[in-house]
Structure 1
Amino acid sequence: MSSKPIQGRMTAESEGGVTVFLIGMRINSFRAVRSWWPTLRAMPRMLRELSQEKDSGLLGHQLLLGGPRLVYVVQYWGSKDKLLAYASAPDQEHRPAWAAFNRRMREGRGKVGFWHETYVVPAGSYESVYVNMPAFGLGAATDVVPVGRRGERAADRLKPAA
């Protein structure tokens, strides 16, 4: 992702639908490093693996901090099927990391929290604006175009493609 701002009002443009996957953890006890550190380290390995595999389905991602205790990743996928296939693939990084995380969750007795949410967004059912920003979020995962190409108002951009 370029850090150079794109001047003006831009919006994300994608050919089809997108699946948005939010995943994160909350450190409930900073002293319980064995409960949360391996999980924190596993996510970059999975993202690297997905980014290197052209057909993985991952379009892009953004790592974010939600205060001192919360770390999460926003992921943009080309389809829910690709996301689910990766989650269950026995030969990929996710399965062993998930099994190890579940063991640590049981042993840690609440020292780390975990959450995820998945949203399947049909084509044309998303809206975004980036003003004087580098490509970011969905725009970085897909493409950015001047706002006028998809409509000047949010209501215009939320109309499904014809």
Structure 2
Amino acid sequence: MSNQPIPGRMTAESQDGVTVFLIGMRINSFRAVRSWWPTFTAMPRMLRELSKEEDSGLLGYQMLLGGPRLTYVVQYWESTEKLLAYASQPDKEHRPAWAAFNRRMREGKGKVGFWHETYVVPAGSYESVYVNMPAFGLGAATGVVPVGRRGDRAADRLKPAV
């Protein structure tokens, strides 16, 4: 993915439904490195694994910092079914990381926090615009097209594809 701005107004190419998964951790005690470091390093391993597997269902992601204590990832998935399938596969990175995280949570007594949210977004229920930006967010996950192809106004882009 290029980090160069794309001139003009672009929108995400995808017009299909999408599942948006937000997941993050909060460091409640910086000194408790053994509580939060394994959690911090587990997510990149999972994202590498998912990115290598062509049919994983992960369309793309963005890793973000929410201040000095909070780190999170915005993930775009083809479907909720593929997200849940990955989470429950015993031979993938997620299951052992989740089990280890739960052990550390019990032992760490609140030194690290964890959260996630899942949003199922039907086709026609989202729109996007990127002005003089590199591909970002959903646009990075699905590709971008000039805004005019999907409608010049946000209201036009929010209509379901025909």
TM-score scaled by structure 2?
Answer: 0.98
Distance (Å, rounded) in 1 between the aligned partners of 2:160 and 2:16: 10
Q: Matches of 1:47 and 1:33 in 2, distance apart? A: 22
Question: Which residue is equivalent to 1:136?
Answer: 136
Q: Give unmatched runs, 5+ long, in structure 1.
A: none
- What corresponds to 1:151 in structure 2? 151
Tell me the CA shift for residue 15 of structure 1.
Answer: 4.4
In structure 2, C-alpha distance between the alignment counterparts of 1:161 and 1:53, rounded to whole Å: 28
Counterpart check, 1:117 vs 2:117: yes
The residue matched to 2:67 in structure 1 has which SS? coil
Task: Give 1:131 deviation, angstroms.
Answer: 0.5
- Between the aligned partners of 2:106 and 2:9, the Cα distance in structure 1 is 48
Q: Distance in 2 between matches of 1:124 and 1:5?
A: 26
Matched with 1:98 is: 98
Q: How far did residue 13 of structure 1 move? A: 1.7
Q: Which moved more, 1:31-40 or 1:147-156?
A: 147-156
Asked if 1 retains the 8 angstrom alpha-carbon contact of 2:15 and 2:161, the reply is: no
The alignment status of 1:11 with 2:6, answered yes or no, reads: no
In structure 1, what is the equivalent of residue 33 of structure 2? 33
Find out whether 1:108 has 2:131 as its counterpart: no
Deviations 1:4-44 (A, max 9, x none): 11000000021421100000000010001011000001000
Matches within 5 A, 1:64-83: 64-83=64-83
Q: Following the alignment from structure 1 to structure 2, what is the Cα–Cα distance between the partners of residues 28 and 159?
A: 43
**Which contiguous aligned blocks of 4+ residues in structure 1 show a shift greater than 4 angstroms?**
none
Paired AA for residue 53 in structure 1: E
Gaps of 5+ in 2: none
Indicate the SS of the match to 2:83. helix
How many residues are aligned here? 162
C-alpha offsets along residues 65-113 of structure 1, whole Å, 9 cap, x if unaligned?
0000000000000000000000000000000000000111111111111
Residues 126-146 of structure 1: per-residue CA shift (max 9 Å, x gap): 111100000000000001011
Aligned-pair identity in percent equals 87
Root-mean-square deviation over aligned CA pairs:
0.7
Aligned partner of 2:52 in structure 1 is: 52
